[in-house]
Structure 1
């Protein structure tokens, strides 16, 4: 059906929009009507898998991965060279990362580098702020064998014993310009998400303040009325 390939100003087709909203049943019908639409990309090089990750629609992602005949499709990249694993790590989607690394075809190429700093998914995970969730996200690709880009051409090193670990000194390396730009981009992205969170918190505080003021006004009014006209009236002396 030609209608399945009609695109908007960002070159998104109906399958893209259904994936962005996680409409699994709609995705099934669109794939039946036009199976080839799964390979179409939008203006930014995102295919339907990228959009599932960007909008955190894991069920839709699983359906599409199971439906595609080209097993290497899960390793496709956007215009910045990011795979869906790169995006899942950037967005901190723990469940999605675990699922993606369970796919044999993707796990075999989990060390693929993007075009922004030539970074692997593990490199990307190390650009976030050092909080508990960030450390948890780093542990997942490490456990799956994902490596840093600088370590790809070197053999795996044996684990150090306690004496070697104490005597080892950290080596400070200059970061390439692309990596520096990526870190700035990532911090800007994280800052935007944090500002949005603070704005939502601010709206919640304003609504709560208004509710408390209303309750306080009602209580004060009831107390004032009870003082003027107490139940049973005012006792009068003879």
Structure 2
């Protein structure tokens, strides 16, 4: 992934993201095709940059279902980091994201429960009760 895109995701710089898109309109397509460990959405979710993450979902919704090299999807990261707002956005994109398992066969629900993330558990159960 382009280091500037990584840095924009890490810092939540939406303006830098749009400048990169003007410079290279296919930059997100290249990330999608390349064997990378994390998409910009993974980075933003991990760094708690919710506004950037929401913009990334708007621009490239397919990133919501990408698994990184560790087997985590952005929703796993959002659950683990108590990002209730981002969890809601991701579930609106695709409620089946709640059923994505990591490499250890854990659902986002499991990660949230293991870490005592009660607030995100409630979001999951109300949005998608099947895994519960």
Tell which structure's C-alpha radius of gyration is larger.
Answer: 1
1:114 corresponds, among 102, 105, 129, to: 102
Q: Is the CA contact 2:8–2:14 (under 8 Å) kept in the aligned structure 1?
A: yes
Q: Which runs of 5+ in 2 are unaligned?
A: none
How far has the Cα of 1:108 moved from its partner?
3.0
Q: What count of residue pairs does the alignment treat as equivalent?
A: 130
Distance of 2:25 and 2:107 partners within structure 1: 31
Q: Which runs of 5+ in 1 are unaligned?
A: 6-12, 152-238
Normalised TM-score (structure 2): 0.85
Distance of 1:20 and 1:146 partners within structure 2: 32
Equivalent positions of 1:45-194 (< 5 A) are 45-68=37-60, 71-103=61-93, 106-115=94-103, 117-129=104-116, 134-145=117-128, 147-148=130-131
Q: Tell me: higher relative CO, structure 1 or 2? Use CA pairs within 8 A at least 6 residues apart.
A: 2
Normalised TM-score (structure 1): 0.50
How far has the Cα of 1:83 moved from its partner?
0.7
Q: Is the CA contact 2:109–2:121 (under 8 Å) kept in the aligned structure 1?
A: yes
What is the RMSD computed on CA atoms of the aligned residues? 2.3
Structure number with the higher helix fraction is: 2
